[in-house]
Structure 1
Amino acid sequence: MDDQVNADANVANGADNLPAIGMISQYVKDLSFESPSAPAIFQQQNQPNIEVEFGIGVNKVADDVHETTLKIEVKAKTEEMTAFIVDLTFAALFGVRNVPDDQLQPFLLGEAPRLMFPFARRVVADAVRDGGFPPLTLDPIDFGSLYLQQLQAQEQAATEGAAGNA
């Protein structure tokens, strides 16, 4: 019972030591749309082949503020020409307090992109539609699983590198 009283007293005195993460804002950091084959591309009957690439980055902005960037590059090409290219860097600022480092990186590289993706997907769809093409709706991505796969690959590479040096 004394533990409960002491915990309540710490909070009442303004001591906030509980972990907390909150999104401060999200924004388009860079957006480019190109249709290098216009207007000829609009005469094409072939459906373009669409390639999508993703990249995630993290930047510490201040002591308790981190920026996660989600870079999306989309290329739509037919056999003869490029229909369009979209290059988007979408970012979000997250306020972080009392979160251990071993839990911060999984959030910033796995969970944060998951929160940001629906908004970035809308920006891409709108850019493609505004460029004269049918809106492109990107399929959902499991960023948490991608983060875990990348982490496992890094651990395996480190283990193989250590074994090779022995």
Structure 2
Amino acid sequence: MADEGDILQNLDNANTGPNGADNQPTAAIITQYVKDLSVENPNAPGVFQWQEQPKIDVQFNIGTEPAGNEVHEVALKINITATGEQGAHYIVELAYCGLVGIRNVPDDQAHAFLFAEAPRILFPFARRVVADAVRDAGFPPLLVDPIDFNGLYIQQLQQRRQQEAAGAATPPADAPGGGEA
């Protein structure tokens, strides 16, 4: 058995600030939860007699809000509509959230964590909720294809930079040749 002296070794952490304040960058999911879930089966029971395969439309959105000091709520919103010629088979709307703690992380890296990495971590759990909801509505479970959140984040950053560059290249409205005609 280790004695107390072995356990309490090396307590002088070089990355600790005054009064033991931790200066290490950290970002992690604190907890995750279903914030809102809506499942509609508007044409039941008739829909179970339809022979056609529904067309599935999947939309998603990522949002974040401060939830406290060094804590953000990241919301992964997934909207699914399954429709056919005779109408809607089912509609599922899910807001799956996670509380994310971020400390001592530069703003650009924190932004990337909140909008790319945190949704990537939350997605498998949200995917299971969707599959269960569709199954509980009486249909075969829907397994939403994996999403490359990091690739989408980088793509959106590039689009934003191009828009900003295009906006900077446009002459001001009061300059000769600029503005609306």
* TM-score normalised by structure 1 residue count: 0.92
Correspondence for 1:67: 73
Count of aligned positions: 161
Residue 24 (str. 1) matches residue 24 (str. 2): no
Name the residue aligned to 1:76: 82
Cα distance in 1 for residues equivalent to 2:18 and 2:95: 42
1:85-164 counterparts in 2 under 5 A?
Answer: 85-164=91-170
Q: Give the aligned partner of residue 40 of structure 2.
A: 34
For structure 1, list consecutive stretches of 5 or more residues without a partner in the other structure.
Answer: 1-5
In the other structure, the counterpart of 2:176 is none
* TM-superposed deviation, 1:96: 1.0
Structure (1/2) with the larger helix percentage = 1
1:141 Cα deviation from its structure 2 partner:
0.5
User: CA–CA distance in 2 between the matches of 1:126 and 1:95?
Assistant: 28
Aligned-pair Cα RMSD in Å: 1.7
Structure whose alpha-carbon radius of gyration is higher:
2
Amino-acid identity (%): 55
1:13 to partner: Cα distance: 5.7
Counterpart CA distance in 2 for 1:9 and 1:34 is 52
1 or 2 for the larger relative contact order (CA 8 Å, sep ≥6)? 1
